Amino acid sequence: MLDPQARALIDLMIERGVPPVQVLSPTDARSLYRDRRGFTQPEPPAVGAVTDLVAPGPRGPIPLRLVTPTGNDGPWPVLVYFHGGGWTIGDLDTHDVLCRQLCAASGCAVLSVDYRMGPEHRFPAAPEDCLAAVRWLRSEAASHGLDASRIALGGDSAGGNLAAVVAIEMRDAGDPPALLQLLIYPATDMRAIAPSHTSNAQGYLLTADSIAYYRGHYIADPAQWSDWRASPLLAPDLTRLPPALVLTCGFDPLRDEGRQYADALSAAGNRAQYICFERQIHGFITMTRVIDEAWAAVDLCAGALKRGLVGA
């Protein structure tokens, strides 16, 4: 059964004639995504401070937003967060409430990364920016009250994809490892061949049509779908990676590839927890104003951060 609140949201969007993303230009899709957050997201919780920053990247400056907790002066452990939006839409504002919720509930700082997106900046611009942001954080942590030895990587959807890719890149480069991967309904296989891409292809906000739209804006050459930096499930070596919490949704085209990635991490000898919110839709964790179960997902993520970083 689809969660009744998720069903009500889908029905309301149909009733109000909200256009599907694939009929919009990227510019219009970004505006719609940013504007509708006021309906699905609550007022942000109180945090210690919010600071906009900039990191240098291989293709130019990368905007960042640092959210720090109340109650002490650090140094804080920090979650580096990569927002969702199909590598095409989304920004620091669309996920600002979620980042503040995670900060307030976990006691960790959260650094949100506004990485380059398609179609203006195609693959591999996004993972290059994300890796550069993590490396900047390590070098500049002390000046911002952060603990460079206690870092987690996280993100939802496209951001979960990027967090997984960056974890592999850091291992391969010999960088100090993150302590946790927080992968929220991650995209892990650009080929879109898992069974849930058929069973959940239509009717649940993220559809086969919108996936094709996002993928087409992000990756110009279908031959790159099998590049592990686009499809971390296809990485030849998944050993020696940080512990992971992988969340998926029952009514999501990405459900099965998220589970497959959790299974692959476990099979490679990593610690991985997998939890599926069976009645939920893709994108629900940012919808705490209208979907009660989203709070359970936020609490799960915050708990993982406490165990993985605060107690480290």
* Residues that are catalytic: 157, 252, 282
Nearest to 71 by CA among 42, 39, 96, 105: 105
Asked if residues 295 and 288 have their Cβ atoms less than 8 Å apart, the reply is yes
The sign of the dihedral angle between the CA atoms of 92, 93, 98, 103 is positive
Per the CB < 8 A criterion, the answer to whether 115 and 129 are in contact is yes
User: How many residues in the chain?
Assistant: 312
Q: Distance (Å, rounded) from C-alpha 42 to C-alpha 139?
A: 34
CB 59 within 8 A of CB 133: no
Tell me the CB-side half-sphere exposure of residue 166, using CA atoms within 13 A: 35
CB 181 within 8 A of CB 171: no
Q: How far is 251 from 5, CA to CA, in rounded Å?
A: 13
Distance CA 55, CA 135 (A): 9
d(CA 50, CA 132) in angstroms, rounded, equals 21
87: alpha, beta or left? (left if phi > 0; alpha if psi -120 to 50): left
Contact 78, 151 (CB under 8 A): yes
